[in-house]
Amino acid sequence: MSELFLSAFVTFFVVIDPPGCAPIFAGLTSGADAAHRRSMALRSVAIAAGILLFFALLGEDLLEKLGITLAAFRIAGGIMLFLIALEMVFERRTARREHRAQEVSASPEAEDISVFPMAIPMIAGPGSIASAMLLMARSDGLAESLAVIAALGAILLLTLIALLAAGPLMRLIGHKIEAMITRLLGVILAALAAQFVIDGIGVSFNV
């Protein structure tokens, strides 16, 4: 169970990327007062947590009603996570996030960024939703399911801390170190994504 927790923790950390969310949040909330920034950080993480828990707990039933097997979802989810990993290694994901943040900040009516773009899609995006569903599908029994949910909760807590400490955090790590960490995490995510695909193929062909 500890191995599953660690695997889930690493997967969620890489996909959600709490340190990567911090500079986006800092840029989008630069004109807000401290209390408003705090409330937006709390709302962002709370909304994302609700979305991710929904798909983690009910995603398997949803797939069943759609006639999609878990093996097929593992393969599709693994491929999608691998594409995200490639974007992280080549820094395209960071550039896309920053571009989206600039579009939001340029809109005068977009004062509260807690729902979009922070909760969706920066925290609860396609990658994190797929990861939650894949990891819950891999868990066997209540104890392992709770381990996955605990890992998700731990990452969301780290994300909240990163958002609340966005300004000091960015001054501490700097953009160059952040870019290096993102590339390393991308390599790890690529390996995890490949494992999801291997698992899905193995189940499909009873290997």
- The pLDDT of residue 144: 93
User: Is residue 127 exposed (0-12), middle (13-18) or buried (19+ Cβ within 10 Å)?
Assistant: buried
- The pLDDT of residue 109: 47
Look at the block and give the residue holding tokens 């660690």.
Answer: 6
Q: Cα–Cα distance between 28 and 196 in angstroms, integer?
A: 34
pTM as predicted: 0.79
CB 191 within 8 A of CB 80: no
- The pLDDT of residue 146: 95
Q: What string of pLDDT tens digits covers the 207 residues of the chain?
A: 678 899 899 999 989 989 888 878 887 787 778 888 899 999 999 999 999 999 999 988 888 898 988 788 888 888 888 888 888 788 776 566 666 666 666 654 446 789 988 898 889 988 899 899 989 988 888 999 999 999 999 999 999 999 999 877 766 766 677 677 778 878 888 888 898 889 889 888 875
- The pLDDT of residue 58: 92
- The pLDDT of residue 152: 97
User: Which of 61, 62, 69 lies closest to 201, judged by CA?
Assistant: 69
- The pLDDT of residue 104: 64
DSSP SS3 for 58: helix
